[in-house]
A and B are shown apart, each in its own frame.
Chain A
Amino acid sequence: MSWYANSEKSCDTSVVLSSRVRLARNVSGIPMGERMSDEQARDICDRAGAVFTGFDRIDFDRLDRATAQSYAEEHLVSAEFASSTRPHTLYKNEDGDVYVMVCEEDHFRIQSITPGYSVRVAYERAAGAANAVGEAFPIAFDPELGYLTHCPTNLGTAMRASVMMFLPAMTRRGGMPQLSRQLAKLGMTVRGMYGEGSEATGCLYQISNQITLGISEDETISKLCEIVDFIIAQEQKLRGELASRAQYETADACARAYGTLTHARIMSCREFMDLWVDARLGVAMKDNLDTGIPDNVTLSLLDTALIESQPSVLTLLSGGGEMSPRERDIRRAAILRERLSEKR
């Protein structure tokens, strides 16, 4: 089970899909990044095995490209981690909510990803794993600078706390540039989860803290949650306006998107992302809109479809063999019909 397939969980994901806390830790006396030898990297990867007993061990430098990329598409590892050729290993726990990247740019990048709005739970899980690393390795720490990291931007708590938010109403009202400017002033940052640069697709954004030194873990999380609460309220208000002022237009767009998703024979990734936004908005607003989207199509089902539609995950689902973009588009359409059709 992973953060997106959370059907058993009783949490609301209509605005916040998942929460995530990442802690960086480095072993003192051992070089980082480029300066670390392959032997040193392999040694840390191996020794980490004793810390993470009961975790799955995945040596990324021995994975085929599609499998490695699929982890990045699931947002479980960074793109850099997925494509590096140096010795580097992922440890993931059985519950699928703790992921430890060993020998990324820091020796340890300990992440917990939990479904819905649950930043504190994610922090607790990540801190538990970080403590286990601290018991097994001498951790580089300075009383003034905090945890010492490869990049000085992460000094201090070395913590990045974030939530993944679905903001279709705010995006369409043109509110994202303003939000981005306001967050920057507060030491927070927003970035699109999909798409290049300013052209974000999927209306999915990651909101996270920028500053890590001079602020405690608890203060960071409180500050993040304060801002996230505000954004949730804004998004809900704008969705409410859609339902009251443009009820039929909104329902129509959502219903058409769902219809296309379940009937198309060729579906490009780009087209999918746009339709997915409308279908997800329709499900999120099902109490206020008559979209005719069947009840078995839940937010969790749509979030799983989003991940399964990404190129590498799709390739793996289809057996892992080489696929042309056209073959992928045909396969994507077939998977969507299969997954999202009405089931009685």
Chain B
Amino acid sequence: MLCEKCGKNEATIRYSEIVNGKKTEMALCADCAKEMGISADPFDGFGDIFGTGSLLSNFFGNALSSPTRRSSAAERRCPVCGASMYEIQKLGKVGCAECYTTFRNELLPTIRRIHGDVKFKGASPASPVNDEAAKKARELDSLRDELSAAIKNEDFEHAAQLRDKIRELEK
């Protein structure tokens, strides 16, 4: 969202005032806010005024709440895709893979909220195939061939054994 005053910079501050009992709200960039003498907490109530881009936005609610990294995170942009933390927060999705490096500290609390644990486990590009699963799948394929042969030959006793074996492996 762009600043409602200058229309040029990214809005990072919500400004609200009550005039004659009517509440008006504005989204401002840091420069315009300074010019207007507003020194509000720039991320106070950030999530709710701009609306939620997706359900996921809720997960990002507090991503920028830590005061120590607030100002730098707001202005920083991902060098690959140009996304800002604000834009990622709004969409609930990153702009590219590099965003996870650029905004790592801001994204980690969110990732923990979603997954709980952040220690990766699983296959990787360096060791991609899960050998155990591959072996199982090959075994299943050959058992299925054997099963169709057994059914064709009307060897139902063998077929029943094979079927049990397949069921067991498929689990």
Contact = CB atoms under 8 A, between A and B. Distances in A.
A273 B56 CA distance: 32
A34 B163 CA distance: 48
B84 to A, nearest CB: 12
Q: Which of B91, B92, B121, B122 has the most CB of A within 10 A?
A: B122
Interface string A100-130: 0000010000000000111111011101101
A144 interface: yes
B6 interface: no
Nearest to A128: B129
Interface of B: 56, 59, 80-83, 91-98, 100-101, 107, 110-111, 114-125, 128-130, 132-134, 136-138, 140-141, 144, 147-148, 151, 163, 167, 169-171
A229 to B, nearest CB: 7
A52 to B, nearest CB: 17
Given A117-B170, A124-B137, A29 B80 contact: yes
Given A130-B128, A156-B115, A214-B115, A146 B136 contact: no
Interface of A: 10, 26, 28-35, 105, 116-121, 123-125, 127-128, 130-131, 134, 139-146, 148, 150-153, 155-157, 159, 211-219, 221, 225, 229
B15 to A, nearest CB: 28
Given A131-B129, A217-B122, 16 more contacts: A10-B163, A31-B80, A32-B97, A117-B167, A119-B170, A120-B136, A120-B140, A125-B137, A143-B120, A145-B118, A146-B122, A152-B107, A211-B114, A213-B115, A214-B115, A216-B123
10 contacts: A10-B148, A28-B97, A29-B96, A32-B93, A32-B97, A35-B82, A118-B140, A127-B130, A156-B122, A212-B115
Q: Which of A123, A124, A125, A144 has the most CB of B within 10 A?
A: A124
B123 A217 contact: yes
A148 B115 CA distance: 14
Query: Which 3 residue pairs spanning A and B have beta carbons closest together?
Result: A214-B117, A140-B97, A124-B137
Given A31-B81, A148-B100, A229 B171 contact: yes
Contacts of B91: 33-34
B100 A218 contact: no
A144 B121 contact: no
Given A124-B136, A214-B117, A214-B120, A141 B83 contact: no
Nearest to B60: A152
B93 A141 contact: no
Nearest to A23: B123
Contacts of A116: 170
B134 to A, nearest CB: 6
B127 to A, nearest CB: 11
B170 A118 contact: yes
A55 B17 CA distance: 61
Contact of B137 (A31, A35, A121, A215): A121
Q: Which of B91, B121, B132 has the most CB of A within 10 A?
A: B121
B120 A120 contact: no
Nearest to A132: B128
Contacts of A213: 111, 114-115, 117-118, 120
Given A105-B93, A124-B133, A214 B56 contact: no
Contacts of A145: 100, 111, 118, 120
A30 B91 CA distance: 18
A120 B123 contact: no
Nearest to B140: A121
